Amino acid sequence: MLTDLYKEIEKHVNWLSSIGLDPKGGTTRLLYDLAWIEAQNSLKNKFEETGLSASFDSVGNLFGKLEGSKYPKETIMTGSHVDTVVNGGALDGQFGIIASYLAIKMLKEQYGQPLRNLEVVAMAEEEGSRFPYAFWGSKNIFGLADKNDVLYAEDTKGILFKDAMNQAGFNFRDENEKIREDIKAFVEIHIEQGNVLEKTGKQVAVVNSIVGQKRYDITLKGQANHAGTTPMGFRHDTVYGMSKMISESIDQAKELGDPLVLTFGHIDVKPNTVNVVPGETFFTMDCRHTDGQVLGDFTKEMESLFRKIAKDLELEIDIDNWMDEKPVPMSEKIVKILEEACQEKSLNYTTMHSGAGHDSQIFAPQVPTAMLFVPSVGGISHNPAEATKTEDLVEGIKALIASLYKLAYEE
Amino acid sequence: MLTDLYKEIEKHVNWLSSIGLDPKGGTTRLLYDLAWIEAQNSLKNKFEETGLSASFDSVGNLFGKLEGSKYPKETIMTGSHVDTVVNGGALDGQFGIIASYLAIKMLKEQYGQPLRNLEVVAMAEEEGSRFPYAFWGSKNIFGLADKNDVLYAEDTKGILFKDAMNQAGFNFRDENEKIREDIKAFVEIHIEQGNVLEKTGKQVAVVNSIVGQKRYDITLKGQANHAGTTPMGFRHDTVYGMSKMISESIDQAKELGDPLVLTFGHIDVKPNTVNVVPGETFFTMDCRHTDGQVLGDFTKEMESLFRKIAKDLELEIDIDNWMDEKPVPMSEKIVKILEEACQEKSLNYTTMHSGAGHDSQIFAPQVPTAMLFVPSVGGISHNPAEATKTEDLVEGIKALIASLYKLAYEE
């Protein structure tokens, strides 16, 4: 079976990532575009060929179901999202669909009909890459998406969300439609998109929570001055202020330690000239932690620190906290089942949190949910260079198969 | 005389700065362009109308000479540059020409012929705003400009330096032409372009030196990583490195104190996205001091500091010191004469260094040279908002008149 799995994975990953191949590199498959339509229809055919009953919901989430013999009203769901970022890699989202499909196919071949329904899902959208809306797929499964939030949304070509959806053959969810109550567990396998597994030499991870994250825009205003003729004591240098804020807050973040992460990814300086003291500096702050209380306390402290530095240097400061997502714990019960599955199969695994967002954070508050990770080479993702060693993909699918067996085939 | 001077200054500053008025703001008058040709020819007419013998040298420096009665082989020169930056103010360079012209005119009216020649110069170019070459005017006076350095220089429209020069009616200096030996002193009056006079409440300054300056391009290379999935300990964050370098070096610069100035004016971060740890950061450093030894020692220490921080954070660092201009002391003798002139006229003056470069730094190593400054409102320059109160311009010209009297009319 192992050799087969190795080849099957490579074949399927190559196949799915080739739908929407971008001449500028990688795969670009955005919600409701032609590549997306082709991918979802091809997956539907594949599910049906394998004996799964396949169907779309109103917005275009694709489900492939293997009926349970004993508990037909209980479903164990597994899968991920079919959309990519622009010039995305071959694994983000799509590996989760391929892995789930292959796991169900192999379980069916080896053990026949499960006790509970086993269902693979290829979710319509997660990345927010075409329209300014993320998690469109998973949110619609639970009736959590408000159509007013996308009604006037346009893509970069000016195409309206609704028109793109209609042209792909889909429509808004009927608000009277009942929410599914059969989903008893959701398991999503995904690439890590970080370098923890690689650095620690592990092949699989059970994910026990998804971090909360807060994002800020920070603008400092001082005074643009001549770099030669303005003595240091007469300056209101916004780059000096920014550099103190960044270096001191990262020092404090490192002292507080994992799992806190703090990133200043974007900086714009005005006028950005070698011989002018910068009168204005804009920068962003992205802070994440698995504990909402710690995240809130730390960012509050940093806000105070920034205001103190600005006051000391006589700079104006504007702090805009435009994203505040709470941490999402995974189901303890499902985490334990996934860990046991890894132990029973003697996999080289660890348990960790996710620093990135995933469809599972929409599922987790609704149904018992947990995730599996496989390593990302160099931690690279959202990039054509995104890669995972096939032997690690194999170990990930082995973990998924063992987990789904426990959930769907055992009493 | 005072009321006249006040009106005369305003009239002449308005007149000269209107030649090359830019629809986008301020004055744009670049070497050899149409506004430049008009300005130099208009100044030539004005000099001649005032009874000065006016002439251009080969490259387009304009001289207006009032012959000396007793020492016709000794010239006291005064003036500044006629070119502006793009969207420049009404005073940088051109106020020095107006002030020198008015000073000679008034000295002539009041005292008649001087003992030594008095000569106003409207230098062709200082800013380096059209072609990548600065001090073209003053360097040519002393045969210090190498034509090979501009032979293939083009402006932003692709016009060759030589073609622009020829079309304006000028040509390269004949290499066999003798260097003038008659210039016994040079005095340049200029706006301060900083806020020292304004902050200290002075109306005039005698400038005793021009700072040396070193400029650097610094590039840090680390690793671009996902802001959520990469623990702090696994990062090679170039923005963190940069912020430590900038904050620590500015702290040290402030500790060392005036006249050291240190500026980080330009920052470019890659990929410059809120949720990616920046894998590459480019920034510039501009450092100035009146003492070459202190400047050299300080920048050397900062280089070591940057390399140490880069090593600690496991970042690659490239430091390119692309400008290294030595400090230029003014003539002690001329500085003393200017100070005496200010004292005798009971002017509200101080003595200071210049943090910016000026034509006087080309003159000073060749002939006894010193400068006068008038305040800049808000320290603003190279900007349409550049301004000096007219009463301060008056005080500056009074200092210049008194100085030129001492140099040209006294034995």
Q: Which of B124, B15, B20 is nearest to B80 (CA)?
A: B124
Q: Residues 218 to 277 of B: which have CB under 8 A from any A CB?
A: 225-234, 237, 239-240, 242-248, 250, 253-254, 257-269, 271-277
Confirm if A386 and A376 have CB atoms less than 8 A apart.
yes
Q: Residues 342 to 361 of B: which have CB under 8 A from any A CB?
A: 354-357
Residue A196 to residue B229, Cβ atoms within 8 A: yes
Residue A242 to residue B240, Cβ atoms within 8 A: no
Nearest residue in chain B measured CA to CA from A245: B243
Q: Which of A43, A139, A48, A122 is nearest to A83 (CA)?
A: A122
Confirm if B88 and B13 have CB atoms less than 8 A apart.
no
Best residue in B202, B215, B247 for a mutation probing chain A (most A CBs within 10 Å): B247
Respond yes or no on whether the N-terminal peptide bond of residue A23 is cis (omega within 30° of 0). Answer: no
Q: What percent of chain A has a predicted confidence (pLDDT) above 70?
A: 99
Nearest residue in chain B measured CA to CA from A191: B229
Best residue in A190, A229, A287, A328 for a mutation probing chain B (most B CBs within 10 Å): A229
pLDDT confidence bin for A4, thresholds 50/70/90: confident
Q: Which of A193, A43, A49 is nearest to A121 (CA)?
A: A43
Q: Residues 159 to 218 of A: which have CB under 8 A from any B CB?
A: 192-196, 199, 211, 213, 215
What's the pLDDT tens digit per position in B86-124?
Answer: 999 999 999 999 999 999 999 999 999 999 999 999 999
State the SS3 of B189-247. EEECCCCHHHHHCCCEEEEEEECEEEEEEEEEECCCEECCCCCHHHCCCHHHHHHHHHH
Best residue in B275, B276, B377 for a mutation probing chain A (most A CBs within 10 Å): B275
pLDDT for B2? 57
**Mean pLDDT for chain A?**
96
pLDDT for B270? 94
Binding site annotation covers B171? no
Query: How close is the nearest chain A Cα to the Cα of B295, in Å?
Result: 13
d(CA B83, CA A292): 60
Cα atoms in the 13 Å half-sphere on the side-chain side of A404: 35
Give the one of A227, A268, A355 whose C-beta lies nearest to B265's C-beta.
A227
Partners of B261 on chain A (C-beta within 8 Å) are 227-228, 230-232
Residue B269 to residue A265, Cβ atoms within 8 A: yes
User: In the block, which residue shows the tokens 């100085």?
Assistant: B403
Q: What percent of chain B has a predicted confidence (pLDDT) above 90?
A: 95
Q: Residues 274 to 293 of A: which have CB under 8 A from any B CB?
A: 274-278, 284, 286, 288
Q: Residues A65-104, buried b or exposed e (16+ Cβ, 10 A)?
A: bbebeebeebbbbbbbbbbbbbebbbbbbbbbbbbbbbbb
Q: Which of B269, B305, B302, B306 is nearest to B287 (CA)?
A: B302
Give the one of A250, A259, A274 whose C-beta lies nearest to B284's C-beta.
A274
| Pairing of the two strands B280-289 and B71-81 | unpaired
Give the one of A195, A228, A250 whose C-beta lies nearest to B230's C-beta.
A195
pLDDT for B4? 87
pLDDT for B1? 56
Give the one of B250, B261, B273 whose C-beta lies nearest to A227's C-beta.
B261
Give the one of A265, A355, A379 whose C-beta lies nearest to B274's C-beta.
A265
Binding site annotation covers A130? no
Q: Where are the beta strands (DSSP E) in B1-124?
A: 53-56, 62-66, 71-81, 116-123
| Pairing of the two strands A116-123 and A369-374 | unpaired
Give the one of A244, A274, A357 whose C-beta lies nearest to B266's C-beta.
A274
d(CA A138, CA A140): 5
Binding site annotation covers B180? no
Nearest residue in chain A measured CA to CA from B233: A254
d(CA B313, CA B155): 42
Q: Is the pTM of this model over 0.90?
A: no
Structure tokens, B240: 């963190």
Establish if B129 touches chain A: CB-CB under 8 angstroms: no
**Mean pLDDT for chain B?**
96
Give the one of A199, A239, A254 whose C-beta lies nearest to B264's C-beta.
A239
Partners of A231 on chain B (C-beta within 8 Å) are 194, 196, 258-259, 261, 355
Report, as an integer, the average pLDDT of B256-272: 96
d(CA B311, CA B315): 6
d(CA B52, CA B70): 17
Residue B276 to residue A262, Cβ atoms within 8 A: no
Which CATH class name applies to B212-325? alpha beta
Q: Which of B132, B127, B136 is nearest to B60 (CA)?
A: B136
Confirm if A83 and A92 have CB atoms less than 8 A apart.
no
What's the pLDDT tens digit per position in A297-330?
Answer: 999 999 999 999 999 999 999 999 999 999 999 9
Superfamily for the B2-211+327-408 domain: Zn peptidases (3.40.630.10)
Binding site annotation covers A127? yes
User: In the block, which residue shows the tokens 């009874």?
Assistant: B51
Residue A199 to residue B266, Cβ atoms within 8 A: no
- Report the SS3 class of residue A189: strand
What's the pLDDT tens digit per position in B331-351?
Answer: 999 999 999 999 999 999 999
pLDDT confidence bin for A2, thresholds 50/70/90: low
d(CA A96, CA A119): 13
Binding site annotation covers A288? yes
DSSP characters for A68-134? Answer: -SSEEEEEEEEEEE----TTB-SSTTHHHHHHHHHHHHHHHHHH-S-SEEEEEEEES--S--SSS--
Give the one of A232, A250, A265 whose C-beta lies nearest to B273's C-beta.
A265
ipTM confidence:
0.88
Residue A286 to residue B264, Cβ atoms within 8 A: no
Look at B172 and A2; give whichever has higher pLDDT: B172
Look at residue A1 and tell me whether its pLDDT is greater than 70. no
- Residue extents of the structural domains in chain B: 2-211+327-408, 212-325
Partners of A194 on chain B (C-beta within 8 Å) are 225-226, 228-231, 234
d(CA B282, CA B298): 21
Residue B243 to residue A247, Cβ atoms within 8 A: yes
Residue B231 to residue A259, Cβ atoms within 8 A: yes
Report, as an integer, the average pLDDT of A11-34: 97
What's the pLDDT tens digit per position in A213-227?
Answer: 999 999 999 998 899
Partners of B260 on chain A (C-beta within 8 Å) are 232
